[in-house]
Amino acid sequence: MKTNLFGANALRPCIALLIGLLTVAPACTRKSANAQETASATPKASQSVDRQEDPVRAEIVDGRVRLIAKTDELGWPERTQFVEGLTGRCVGLFVGDIGQDTNPFLCMLMDDGGVELLSYKSLGHEAYGGTLCFTSSGRLPGLKDITRFREGPVMNEYGFADYGTIFAIDREGHEHEIEPCIRPFSALYSYSSGGTGVVLEQQLVIYPDWTFLFTLGFAESELVHTYTGRLRPIKMDYENDVYEYSYTMLTRFDYPPVGDEEAYENARPQPATERGSFRLTYKDGSRSYELVVLSGPLPFATEKGSPARYRRVRSNDIPAPSLVTD
* Residue-level pLDDT at 215: 93
- Nearest partner of 301 among 229, 208, 209, 224, judged by Cα: 224
What are the average pLDDT values for consecutive 10-residue runs of the chain, which has 326 residues?
A: 45 40 36 38 78 95 97 89 95 92 92 96 80 93 96 89 94 95 87 78 93 91 92 93 96 90 88 96 86 92 84 67 44
Instruction: Return the pLDDT at 21.
Output: 34
| 276 neighbors 247 (Cβ within 8 angstroms) | yes
pLDDT value at position 183?
A: 84
- The predicted pLDDT at position 194 comes to 60
pLDDT value at residue 312: 87
pTM above 0.85, yes or no: no
Sheet holding 115-119, edge to edge: 90-97, 104-110, 115-119
pLDDT of res. 162: 87
Alpha helices in the chain (DSSP H): 8-19, 24-29, 261-266
pLDDT at residue 292, rounded to an integer: 94
pLDDT for 43 equals: 59
